Amino acid sequence: MRSETTTITSPQDGLPLFVRTWQPDGEAKGVVQMAHGMAEHSGRYERFAQALTDAGYAAWMHDHRGHGETSTEQEDRGYYADDHGWDTAVDDMHTVAQAAREAHPGLPLFFFGHSMGSLLGRDYVTRYGHDLAGAVFSGTGGDQGLLGRVGELVARAESRVRGRRATSRLMNSLTFGSFNKAFTPARTDFDWLSRDPDEVQRYIDDERCGEVFTAGFFADLLGGVNSLPALAGRTPVDLPVFFLSGSQDPVGGEAVRKVAGWYRDAGVRDVTLEIYPEGRHELLNDTVRDEVTERIIGWLDEHLTTKGA
């Protein structure tokens, strides 16, 4: 495997996006563009990228705006943009996808998104999914209903009163405060991420993970998430999609069955769902990670066609 880093300028506002690329030693048979979750970064996906390249896939992944090496200044941490933050983050992914296509002309391009990356990705595929060979959504969420709409209003109110860049411990608590309840007595505040205590500790020890984000970010995120149930019907019907979740994932869990149902009801012809018993939020870092990785690569191989090239 050959690993490199680069920056790609976002045409939305000129922000340099930090990008990692992983290339197989031999000729690539396909490309996987990956999108990480909230309060983490692309460096945490090295092990998955190794498995992808071993299977013959090139992998591309950027640090979302407000995350990792894309936003190293403290004032930019946990913040999307002054205006249209959700849309800007979605279009950043398209910018990276275009660069991946230019680097690998003629190869099928897949999308993989985890958690926040899966949420952005479900919007992304409504805009650009016609050019993809398939999309994998890991650790995604369902319909937040009234609580989601109230949360968005609270975040927007806090943004107006305290400023969009104000760190929001209120919204952090409202969003994540209940996630650990099913795992009491818990060793850490992040036991909900994985059953593997070593993986949880690595997350805690990583200074680029677990930060408290801004009021503006939460307003943008919840606004986008609240739009997702209606967007299933705008997904290209010929785009293969794969949802996977742990049954004990507080973000989606068993509710992902309903999400997959939205896509089937919308006429999407190839919808796959896998729920791993007792699995938690980060399946790629959970005790079933090898099984999950093998299943994802198997699904990619099954859908390796000229579509998305």
Structural domains in the chain? 2-144+228-302 (3.40.50.1820)
Give the HSE-up count for residue 94: Cα atoms under 13 Å, Cβ half-sphere: 17
CA distance 94 to 21: 16
For 177, which DSSP code? T
Per-position pLDDT tens, the chain of length 309: 999 999 999 999 999 999 999 999 999 999 999 999 999 999 999 999 999 999 999 999 999 999 999 998 989 999 999 999 999 999 999 999 999 999 999 999 999 999 999 999 999 999 999 999 999 999 999 888 888 999 999 999 999 999 999 999 999 999 999 999 999 889 999 999 999 999 999 999 999 999 999 999 999 999 999 999 999 999 999 999 999 999 999 999 899 999 999 999 999 999 999 999 999 999 999 999 999 999 999 999 999 975 666
Cα distances (angstroms) measured from residue 225 to each of 61, 117, 149: 22, 11, 9
pTM of the complete model:
0.97
| SS3 of residue 118 by DSSP | helix
